[in-house]
Homo-oligomer: A and B are copies of this chain.
Amino acid sequence: MEKKRTEISTLGEFGLINRIAKDFVPLNTETKLGIGDDAAVIDNGGLQTVITSDMLLEGIHFDLAFMPLQHLGYKAVAVNISDLAAMNAIPKQITVNIGLSNRFSVEAIDEFYKGVKAACDNYKIDLIGGDTTSSASGFVISVTAIGVVSEDRVVKRSGAKVKDVICVTGDLGAAYIGLQVLEREKQVYLANPDMQPQLDKYDYIVQRQLKPEARTEMVYELAEMKVVPTSMIDISDGLASELLHLSSNSGVGMKIYEDKLPIDKQTYDTAFELHIDATTAALNGGEDYELLFTVSMDDMEKLKKHPDIHFIGYVQELSKGNIMVTKGENEVQITAQGWNHFARK
């Protein structure tokens, strides 16, 4: 019997998610928000419970040749906490499932959980469960993070309004350039195992790749400044991809300015050294785990003294599209490259 076979790569990750999501419309009244945002929202009375889950696979999401296990444990937690921050939620608990082949020892697991523990301590969260099992090949990690937020402070991807100001925290492109440096050093090492990696001058960008931080402190600070963003998302796939998510979820267009993009000097210098355009790294690099959000113009005043919040543009009518004004004052359309794990095969 001949069966139809469609390659997953023809759908892409988001196409696949949409294909799945259309069959799963939430029915329980407790489910306030289902598939399609940074996290789901549940109301069991009291505070809203926010839940997100991510899977990391060896050889796809991380390379143990340059990712120490302790950093991996930290990062696996941080990227989920970042999704909670994108909902304006305070993280409270995580569960961690791991699968390991017999290539890994008890000491290796200890290293991994040292990183998980460091993240728990830093973000003040509890590890409350998880599964440890054997794997036929490689290291498999799945983390679920649980947080809380009051009903009136939940921020989705869908609330951006025309004239809102587009804000981004920290700086962009560093994690991607850091990864390029690590990949280069790995090649040098593979060619000559006696060579020690020279990473000192790349310390910031390498750190951004190996030990990303979730912007949970921003959730507290926004509350202190009495600001509720109109929409928010964390930058895991790259600024361009995330801007397009806010655009499609909110039904508005985004206009940003190239000269407003926050790029660290080390990112910029190293991008130049590697013949990579720094703006492209900022737009499409991903893994920065900064927050991208929109606020009403009325809230701009409260935010403008914050050293880590940068205004990069404003929200416009959907018909005007998603545009970046370049340093040369040309208008270019924003297109997402993001990470398509399926297409990379």
Contact = CB atoms under 8 A, between A and B. Distances in A.
Contacts of A52: 95, 129
Interface stretch (A138-146, A222-230, A327-335): A138-146
A87 to B, nearest CB: 11
Interface string A116-134: 0100100011111111111
Q: What is the predominant secondary structure among interface residues of chain A facing chain B?
A: mixed
Contacts of A5: 105, 107
Contact of A42 (B7, B8, B49, B142): B49
A326 B292 CA distance: 66
Contacts of A142: 53, 55, 97, 131, 142
Interface in A240-266: none
B140 A55 contact: yes
A245 to B, nearest CB: 15
A280 interface: no
- The contact size tier of chain A is 35 or more
Contact of A99 (B95, B106, B140): B140
Nearest to A125: B28
Contact of A133 (B9, B13, B109, B110): B13
Contact of A46 (B9, B35, B46, B144): B46
Contacts of A47: 44-45
A30 B49 CA distance: 11
Contact of A60 (B45, B110, B134): B134
A7 B44 contact: no
B124 A54 contact: no
A121 to B, nearest CB: 9
A117 B23 contact: yes
Contacts of A117: 23-24
**CB-based closest 8 A-B pairs:** A45-B46, A142-B142, A40-B128, A6-B106, A59-B136, A55-B97, A26-B126, A24-B127
